[in-house]
């Protein structure tokens, strides 16, 4: 309860009253300096501690506060740099010195080093404060999953082949500037022409018989021609990677060769899949496919026969206060029923409390999950799945309780919608698998701060 009085005083000040989320997290950080120290190992990893010089690196506290300001205000790094000088509340919250500001590159370099594990610790720590304040008591848990897309274009074989050729030439052109003796052949002109031809030569369902076969034959011939060009591009990259010592004159050259080494197996994988599928007409399993050479961690996910999405499945658990208690970013497309027991155990272990009620949609329903929730050490009393499977029955103390839980279950859909659309997570633009996990957690933390600030804000301020 020690949070309430300092927060009330802050809300009385006009500058903080207009930014209740920032007032809340500022108060929490002032009362819990250990939250700042939590991030020090990640942020300072690989950096030298030096007491000399101009001090061109922000403090850990400034970086953590800047990251929170960025997520709460839904900014990118460039806009964050602008807010430093344009917004008084930003300068006050981030604790910037008079006339001092940092470039967006500095913020991006250090904030991106904060790991998934530290962000999970922060999420749980903020939730524990909510429990101490009386906002949440973990008596009710609701679960649901959603798909968050990665920032890639639709992955056709034609597009992936072109991506490989284009990316390899981009890297080779950079390497050529570093190594004057290197000769590089450009295959992009012919490959780009073939890419557009293939893109406009599609299978037509209106054609039948001979005309359809002619269209298929034309498409196959174009793929054969494109794969010949692709083979030349692969061989060129392979030769340079093989002789990397000769092409590693500078540090930049070494870095480019390292990128080519990572790209080469991806090019070979795309070539093999395209040859089998487009030329040899052989079906290829999704597990063997690559959906992007830039975001290789992307999964293909189809839910209940609906539109296929490319990204990651994310499982959320929320409490009665609409705070997200736990979140898991998953690999592949596991069924919802396989996620229930793990998430329930995670909530119990994290907050050392057994929920009285559990509500989920029908995807989580199974006899094994029901037994797990009722098992030793858990003992959830009211267990409601929105739809039943086979002979499975809901467990509730009364019909009225069952009805209430079925209605309350819909709240988590609003929570997920707020996180996806309110914090620009419908399509994650952060690059790389680790950064994908980080963005999910940052957005979840920002959502929880928004919910807490709304619940703790004085009633007269909320009415305004």
Domains defined along the chain, listed by start: 4-113 (no CATH), 135-152+298-442 (3.30.420.10), 157-288 (no CATH)
Which of 120-124, 205-209, 301-305, 385-389: highest mean pLDDT? 120-124
Q: pLDDT value at position 464?
A: 47
Number of Cβ within 10 Å of residue 256's Cβ equals: 25
Q: Quote the CA–CA distance of 128 and 325 in Å, as a whole number.
A: 10
CA distances from 453 to 73, 147, 218 (A): 14, 27, 62
Query: Where do the DSSP E strands lie in 53-103?
Result: none
Residue 51 confidence (pLDDT) above 60? no
Q: pLDDT value at position 273?
A: 96
Q: pLDDT value at position 286?
A: 87
Phi, psi of 139 (to 5 degrees): -85, -20
Per residue in 82-121, pLDDT (tens digit) is 999 888 899 999 998 877 889 999 999 999 999 999 999 9
Secondary structure of residue 183 in the 3-state scheme:
coil
Per residue in 235-289, pLDDT (tens digit) is 999 999 988 767 677 889 899 999 999 999 999 999 999 999 999 999 999 889 9
Query: Lowest mean pLDDT: which of 310-319, 384-393, 400-409?
Result: 384-393
Enumerate residues 6+ apart whose C-beta is below 8 A from 75.
69, 83
Q: Specify whether the CB–CB gap between 141 and 357 falls below 8 A.
A: yes
Query: Hey, what are 215's tokens?
Result: 């269209």
Residue 12 confidence (pLDDT) above 50? yes
Q: Quote the CA–CA distance of 83 and 79 in Å, as a whole number.
A: 6
Phi, psi of 180 (to 5 degrees): -65, -30
Per residue in 339-379, pLDDT (tens digit) is 999 999 999 999 999 999 999 988 898 888 888 988 877 78
Could you identify the residue written with the tokens 């069924």? 335
Q: Quote the CA–CA distance of 450 and 438 in Å, as a whole number.
A: 18
Question: Average pLDDT of the chain?
Answer: 88
CA distances from 39 to 11, 34, 103, 111, 433 (A): 28, 9, 20, 10, 20
Q: Span 195-211, mean pLDDT?
A: 70
Query: Hey, what are 362's tokens?
Result: 């029908």
What percentage of the chain has pLDDT greater than the value 70?
90
Residue 393 confidence (pLDDT) above 90? no
Nearest-CA neighbor of 62 among 93, 37, 23? Answer: 93
Query: Hey, what are 420's tokens?
Result: 């996806």
Q: Specify whether the CB–CB gap between 150 and 309 falls below 8 A.
A: no
Q: How far apart are the first and last CA of the chain?
A: 25
Q: Quote the CA–CA distance of 285 and 273 in Å, as a whole number.
A: 10
Query: Hey, what are 265's tokens?
Result: 């197996």
Nearest-CA neighbor of 445 among 1, 16, 17, 35? Answer: 35
Q: Specify whether the CB–CB gap between 197 and 222 falls below 8 A.
A: yes
Enumerate residues 6+ apart whose C-beta is below 8 A from 113.
42, 43, 45
Q: Quote the CA–CA distance of 408 and 410 in Å, as a whole number.
A: 5
Q: Specify whether the CB–CB gap between 344 and 372 falls below 8 A.
A: yes
Q: pLDDT value at position 53?
A: 46
Q: Span 444-451, mean pLDDT?
A: 95
| Cα-based angle 140, 145, 149 (whole degrees, multiple of 5) | 145
Query: What interhelical angle do 116-133 and 433-456 show, nearest 10?
Result: 10
| Cα-based angle 278, 283, 284 (whole degrees, multiple of 5) | 95
At residue 463 the predicted structure's pLDDT band, cuts being 50, 70 and 90, is: very low
At residue 320 the predicted structure's pLDDT band, cuts being 50, 70 and 90, is: very high
Q: In this structure, is the dihedral angle defined by the CA atoms of residues 176, 180, 183 and 189, taken in order, positive or negative?
A: positive
Q: Span 119-133, mean pLDDT?
A: 95
Q: Quote the CA–CA distance of 99 and 362 in Å, as a whole number.
A: 56
Enumerate residues 6+ apart whose C-beta is below 8 A from 20.
11, 453, 454, 457, 461
Could you identify the residue written with the tokens 């050490």? 377
Higher pLDDT, 230 or 244: 230
Q: pLDDT value at position 457?
A: 78
Q: Helices then strands (H, E): number in the chain?
A: 20, 7
What is the model's pTM?
A: 0.89
Q: Quote the CA–CA distance of 149 and 132 in Å, as a whole number.
A: 35
Q: Span 376-391, mean pLDDT?
A: 78
Q: Specify whether the CB–CB gap between 29 and 35 falls below 8 A.
A: yes
Q: Specify whether the CB–CB gap between 113 and 119 falls below 8 A.
A: no
Q: Span 323-336, mean pLDDT?
A: 93
Residue 229 confidence (pLDDT) above 90? yes
Q: Could you say which DSSP state residue 457 is in?
A: S
At residue 48 the predicted structure's pLDDT band, cuts being 50, 70 and 90, is: low
């Amino acid at each position: 309860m020690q949070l309430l009085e300092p927060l009330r005083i802050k809300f009385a000040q006009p500058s903080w009253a207009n930014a209740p989320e920032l007032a809340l997290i500022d108060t929490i950080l002032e009362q819990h300096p250990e939250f700042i120290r939590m991030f020090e190992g990640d942020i300072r990893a690989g950096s030298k501690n030096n007491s000399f010089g101009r001090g061109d690196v922000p403090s850990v506290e400034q970086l953590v506060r800047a990251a929170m300001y960025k997520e709460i205000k839904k900014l990118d790094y460039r806009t964050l740099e602008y807010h430093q000088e344009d917004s008084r509340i930003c300068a006050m919250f981030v604790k910037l010195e008079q006339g001092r500001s940092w470039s967006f590159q500095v913020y991006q370099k250090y904030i991106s080093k904060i790991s998934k594990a530290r962000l999970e610790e922060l999420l749980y720590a903020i939730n524990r404060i909510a429990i101490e304040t009386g906002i949440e008591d973990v008596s009710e848990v609701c679960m649901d999953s959603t798909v968050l897309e990665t920032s890639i274009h639709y992955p056709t074989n034609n597009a992936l082949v072109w991506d490989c050729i284009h990316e390899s030439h981009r890297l080779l052109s950079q390497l050529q500037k570093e190594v004057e003796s290197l000769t590089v052949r450009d295959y992009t002109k012919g490959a780009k022409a073939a890419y557009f031809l293939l893109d406009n030569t599609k299978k037509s369902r209106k054609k039948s018989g001979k005309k359809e076969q002619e269209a298929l034959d034309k498409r196959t011939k174009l793929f054969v021609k494109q794969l010949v060009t692709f083979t030349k591009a692969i061989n060129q990259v392979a030769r340079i990677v093989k002789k990397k010592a000769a092409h590693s004159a500078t540090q930049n050259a070494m870095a480019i060769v390292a990128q080519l080494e990572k790209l080469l197996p991806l090019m070979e994988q795309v070539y093999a899949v395209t040859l089998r599928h487009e030329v040899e007409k052989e079906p290829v399993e999704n597990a063997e496919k690559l959906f992007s050479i830039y975001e290789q961690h992307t999964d293909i996910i189809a839910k209940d026969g609906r539109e296929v999405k490319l990204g990651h499945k994310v499982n959320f658990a929320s409490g009665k206060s609409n705070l997200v208690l736990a979140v898991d970013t998953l690999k592949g497309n596991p069924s919802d029923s396989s996620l229930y027991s793990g998430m329930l155990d995670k909530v119990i272990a994290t907050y050392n409390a057994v929920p009285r009620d559990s509500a989920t949609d029908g995807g989580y329903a199974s006899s094994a999950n029901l037994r797990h929730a009722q098992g030793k050490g858990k003992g959830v009393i009211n267990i409601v799945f929105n739809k039943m499977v086979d002979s499975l029955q809901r467990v509730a103390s009364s019909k009225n309780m069952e009805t209430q839980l079925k209605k309350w279950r819909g709240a988590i859909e609003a929570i997920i919608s707020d996180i996806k659309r309110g914090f620009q997570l419908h399509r994650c633009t952060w690059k790389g698998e680790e950064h994908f996990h980080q963005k999910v957690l940052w957005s979840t933390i920002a959502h929880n701060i928004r919910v807490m600030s709304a619940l703790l804000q004085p009633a007269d301020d909320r009415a305004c």
